[in-house]
Structure 1
Amino acid sequence: MNFATFDLNLLRVLDAVFREGSTVKAAQRLGLSQSAVSGSLSRLRHSLDDPLFVRQGNRLVATDFATGLKEPVMQELERLEKMLSPPSHFDPETARGTFRIAASDFFAEMLMPALGQLLHHKAPGIRAQLVDLVPQDYVASLERRNADIALIPETALPDWVSSEELFRSPFKVIARKGNPGIADLRQGQVMPFDVFCKLLHVLFSPEGNITAMGDAALSRVGRQRHVAMTVPVFSGVCRAVRESDLIALVPAQLADDVARTFDLQIFDPPMPIDPPLIIGIWHKRSEHTPLAIWMRGQIFDLLRQLNS
């Protein structure tokens, strides 16, 4: 037998004849005509060089060779059906696997603690990994399977990427409580333009850019600020503000979260800044993967709570 040219559909016919005991009932089971089933058996006999069935009165009796095929063929067809059928049930309590999230360290503060607690109670066999969000490379990271999802500001995406809106992230100004430049300001007030533009800024920028959304917003009202330092992680921005007289624009959710720990004051910026929409993106190849579906649902539900 030449397996390279062997028609595996013939095994389905063989299995149906085994189960039904006649070509008529096998044809009904498969939705074929009796002549089609008989023709398939004829091809199978030729391929396997064995008569497979002999007629004994009104019934078909399997040859010794065919009898030896009965259980293995049934088992292999069931195994293939199970392998090719998407699981109908996903049990997080017994599931095992790793799920990689490409995102800035903002999400180390605002997502991972809550996600860790959730997985501990609901899915102890699933490991979550927060991996670096490489600027301009997050889509490629999905394609290379370096990440299962990426959490990014809304942007244009290729058609093989799915996305979901999560939350908007307005900006706040942070400064250390002992900063002499804010001595006359009250917590929560709008920081005056003159103060905002006079104080030196530390800017979150993984790429090392010295301008960002805040500078574009200032430019629209004819003002500018001085960026004295860029840092590639938000935690570094907050530490720099805590240990110096620098100030920074950071997402409001992060400012509220770290203000007490870092002993910071929070202010509204003097100019309007459109809050960016944060989205989750993933490769469409995992659209129907049970573990990925469940993890996306848990992560996205947690992140929607950040809407303010």
Structure 2
Amino acid sequence: MNFATFDLNLLKVLDALFREGSTTRAGERLGLSQSAVSSSLTRLRHALNDPLFVRHGNRLVATDFAEGLRHTLPEELERLRSLLSPPAAFDPASAEGTFKIAASDFMAEMLMPRLGDLLDKKAPRLRAQLVDLVPYDYIESLERYDADLALIPDTELPGWISRQPLFWSPFVVVARDGNPGISGLAPGEVMPIDTFCELRHVLFSPEGNLSAMGDAALARVGRTRQVAMTVPVFSGVCRAVGGSDLIALLPVQLARKVEADYGLKVFQPPMRIDPALIIGIWHKRMDQAPMASWMRARIFELLKPLDGVA
């Protein structure tokens, strides 16, 4: 490729093709006609000496060479935009925009009310959206611009992801006040392991898995529990426990916040369960983006007090 004569505007077309998967939709994204996008794609193919995309039905499928550009191209374009744009001070009071947070409904309870109050007072034109944290897809959602930030338990991450540790979340056992299975137990006590294993459980699992961290912890002491149902949202777990003789493991911060609302009693688990480290993750291309940086900082400040809740 002759870089001296290469038209950098073609990279914007390539990025749009990656995002949209068709020349028509890429043109709509860029404000160009379909024929103009096709012409640019032809020029790209000649310049890069690769077909870049092959047609598969109504979709364009990237070649191996093009696939290698998919993850780095948006970041490089963002760097070019930052390089060529004059720095501007971010004013939250006048800024407009939308910030998407991928998280479980744990954050609907623990974050969104306080974030809503903060935005109302300091950034009334900014909009926050809590979107579903889809298992196995939240990292890709950052790449696709479907989310600006994901709040997740700590895990291995690709190199193009930035991360910030936020708080440790231990687990506790919850049961409804009046559940005959907890007769004689005082809130805050360690639930006997026989009681824990004999009572039936509600399990939080967006995927519908029948085992989780609690089962791994029980297995280490040679015991098992009875999972009666799985629920994809924490609010559903709380409602199920509050309306039945089922019990559940919940993050302690959530249990303390909702115990009065659902008529729950909170106990310590009978076996050691390692607490989950909750982290915030985002695409490195957004490291220096003014609005995203401001929103992340505010969200992290709001979540910091959750560390140490027991």
TM over 0.5: yes
Partner of 1:102: 102
Partner of 1:150: 150
Deviation digits for residues 46-98 of structure 1, max 9, x if unmatched? xxxxxxxxxxxxxxxxxxxxxxxxxxxxxxxxxxx999225331100000000
Once the two structures are superposed, the pairs formed by residues 267-282 of structure 1 within 5 Å of their partners are 267-282=267-282
Q: Give TM-score scaled by structure 2 length.
A: 0.73
Contact 1:90 1:291 in 2 (8 A): yes
Contact 1:87 1:290 in 2 (8 A): no
Distance of aligned partners of 1:101 and 1:226 in 2 relative to their CA distance in 1, 3 Å threshold: same
Deviation digits for residues 192-232 of structure 1, max 9, x if unmatched? 00110000000000000000000000110111101000000
Deviation digits for residues 10-36 of structure 1, max 9, x if unmatched? xxxxxxxxxxxxxxxxxxxxxxxxxxx
Q: Which amino acid aligns with 1:242?
A: G
Q: Give TM-score scaled by structure 1 length.
A: 0.73
- Shift in Å at residue 184 of structure 1? 1.2
Contact 1:213 1:273 in 2 (8 A): yes
Contact 1:191 1:268 in 2 (8 A): yes
- Unaligned stretches of 5+ in structure 1? 8-80
Q: Distance in 2 between matches of 1:86 and 1:215?
A: 54
Give the length in aligned residue pairs: 233
Q: Distance in 2 between matches of 1:232 and 1:134?
A: 10
Distance of aligned partners of 1:83 and 1:97 in 2 relative to their CA distance in 1, 3 Å threshold: farther
Partner of 2:191: 191
- Shift in Å at residue 304 of structure 1? 1.2
Deviation digits for residues 250-270 of structure 1, max 9, x if unmatched? 000000000001111000000
Distance of aligned partners of 1:235 and 1:86 in 2 relative to their CA distance in 1, 3 Å threshold: farther
Partner of 1:202: 202
Partner of 1:51: none
Contact 1:169 1:275 in 2 (8 A): yes
Q: Distance in 2 between matches of 1:88 and 1:268?
A: 51
Determine helix, strand or coil for the equivalent of 1:141. Answer: helix
- Unaligned stretches of 5+ in structure 2? 8-80
Q: Distance in 2 between matches of 1:291 and 1:160?
A: 20
Partner of 1:180: 180
Distance of aligned partners of 1:89 and 1:199 in 2 relative to their CA distance in 1, 3 Å threshold: same
Once the two structures are superposed, the pairs formed by residues 50-89 of structure 1 within 5 Å of their partners are 84-89=84-89
Q: Distance in 2 between matches of 1:108 and 1:199?
A: 29
Determine helix, strand or coil for the equivalent of 2:173. Answer: strand
Q: Distance in 2 between matches of 1:232 and 1:178?
A: 25
Once the two structures are superposed, the pairs formed by residues 99-178 of structure 1 within 5 Å of their partners are 99-178=99-178
Q: Distance in 2 between matches of 1:118 and 1:83?
A: 31
* Percent identity of paired positions between Structure 1 and Structure 2: 67
Determine helix, strand or coil for the equivalent of 1:296. Answer: helix
User: Which protein has the larger Cα radius of gyration, Structure 1 or Structure 2?
Assistant: 1
Determine helix, strand or coil for the equivalent of 1:224. Answer: coil
Partner of 1:290: 290
Determine helix, strand or coil for the equivalent of 2:306. Answer: coil
Q: Distance in 2 between matches of 1:82 and 1:305?
A: 34
Q: Which amino acid aligns with 1:96?
A: E
Q: Which amino acid aligns with 1:94?
A: S
